[in-house]
Structure 1
């Protein structure tokens, strides 16, 4: 009598051909890397073209910088050619005051390649930081890279000296009065289709000899415009 034993063979059952659906669930999708190939002569041509571009840029850059420096607009240069005191009188009655007549010739040099149209030239005189008076001349035109001479006459009659009377008396006793003169030109410069504002100043320290009414010493310096 034979006995038959049944064994569970389900654990040993494996499909001979794997299921594609089960593989797609566990495996990652494939990646494709595309590599481009550049022949050696192409790489050499690219490197040569880059070098040529760099050489051209390095060659042109100094010329561009020089052109920008030359064409960039700048304020005109001012200098005092002549400064003469024609009249200086000191009055004590009915009030302490001064009469002053000052003639000046201003040289305006246009350093740009553009013309200048100036509206006016203002000449002012100060004593101890206080404004005594000013005179304004008419406008004009200065051609590119040109020079113009502008004459102005400042006439002041009966200018009162109130706060600095003691200092003025001391200066009169010494025979020398210090004055400050400011010359300022205002206008515009035409750059292509634009009108750019310009303003230039020059400041002078003047020592006047009261005995012979002459200018004993003068020192002039360019002055940066403030505000407007």
Structure 2
């Protein structure tokens, strides 16, 4: 068998390398690719912002409850057989639907108190509120014989000053009509209402939702 010559052996043992160079793109092709990437990024950002806005608009939110008017129509003290109070309050409540779909509420419950002492509760009938609409509910609290022990003197002082601060807790329950679905709804809000007893107007109202 013939032996390889020295030149042939050294040639066969010499390593061979293959260099692969990236494809060269002309400048105009590079500009087109950069524009395409920017357009994709803009489209993705626009779709993302649209989805966030849609969720924000469709996501159900609690209705706004507020006392529009509160007038003190009757106030009478009893000293026998115990210190008590007869009181009649007329209230006008506002229910505002902030959602983009209608709302049906079953009832509206309002509890009225004075300096932590409960005066009574009012329950109104239900109703329907259109999207982004408001509804007004009139209610009257008429109670007799509410015991007023340590707060009688403070109440007399408030009447003499012409301003009484009432505490109200409003609670509403119902359903939201979202397309073909009905979502349960329940909201509760507490308010501190300052009433001018001379003209039966609300001078100030501080409200905060309850969880």
TM tier, smaller: 0.7 to 0.9
Show the counterpart of 2:112: 125
Is structure 2 residue 143 aligned with structure 1 residue 156? Answer: yes
Of 116, 127, 136, the residue aligned with 2:123 is 136
**Residue 220 in structure 1 maps to residue 205 in structure 2:** yes
* In 1, Cα distance between equivalents of 2:24 and 2:91: 77
Label 1:149 to 1:207 Cα distance change in 2 as closer, same or farther (>3 A). closer
- Residue 50 of structure 1, CA deviation: 0.7
Q: Would you say the 8 A contact 1:121–1:186 is kept in 2?
A: yes
Query: 2:57 and 2:111 mapped to 1: Cα distance?
Result: 33
Residue 100 of structure 2 aligns with which residue?
113
TM superposition score normalised by structure 2: 0.73
Among 167, 186, 191, the residue aligned to 1:203: 191
Number of the residue aligned with 1:80: 67
Q: Does the 8 A contact of 2:188 with 2:210 survive in 1?
A: no
* CA deviation after TM superposition for structure 1 residue 125, in Å: 1.7
Superposed CA RMSD: 3.6
Shift of 1:119: 2.9
Structure 1 stretch displaced more, 182-191 or 147-156 = 182-191
User: For 2:36, what is the secondary structure of its paired residue?
Assistant: helix
Q: Distance in 1 between matches of 2:184 and 2:193?
A: 30
Bigger-Rg structure (1/2): 1
Cα gap change, 1:31/1:124 in structure 2, threshold over 3 Å: closer, same or farther?
farther
Cα distance, 1:102–1:37 mapped onto 2, change above 3 Å: same
Count, aligned residues: 202
Greater strand proportion: 2
Q: TM-score of the superposition, structure 1-length normalised?
A: 0.68
- For 2:166, the equivalent position in structure 1 comes to 180
- Flag the 1:154–1:30 CA change in 2: closer, same or farther, 3 A: farther
Shift of residue 136 of structure 1? 1.4
Unaligned runs of 5+ in 2: 1-5, 8-12
Task: Write the mapping of 1:23-38 to structure 2, written as runs, cut at 5 A.
Answer: 36-37=22-23
Alignment of 1:48-63 (within 5 A): 48-60=35-47, 63=50
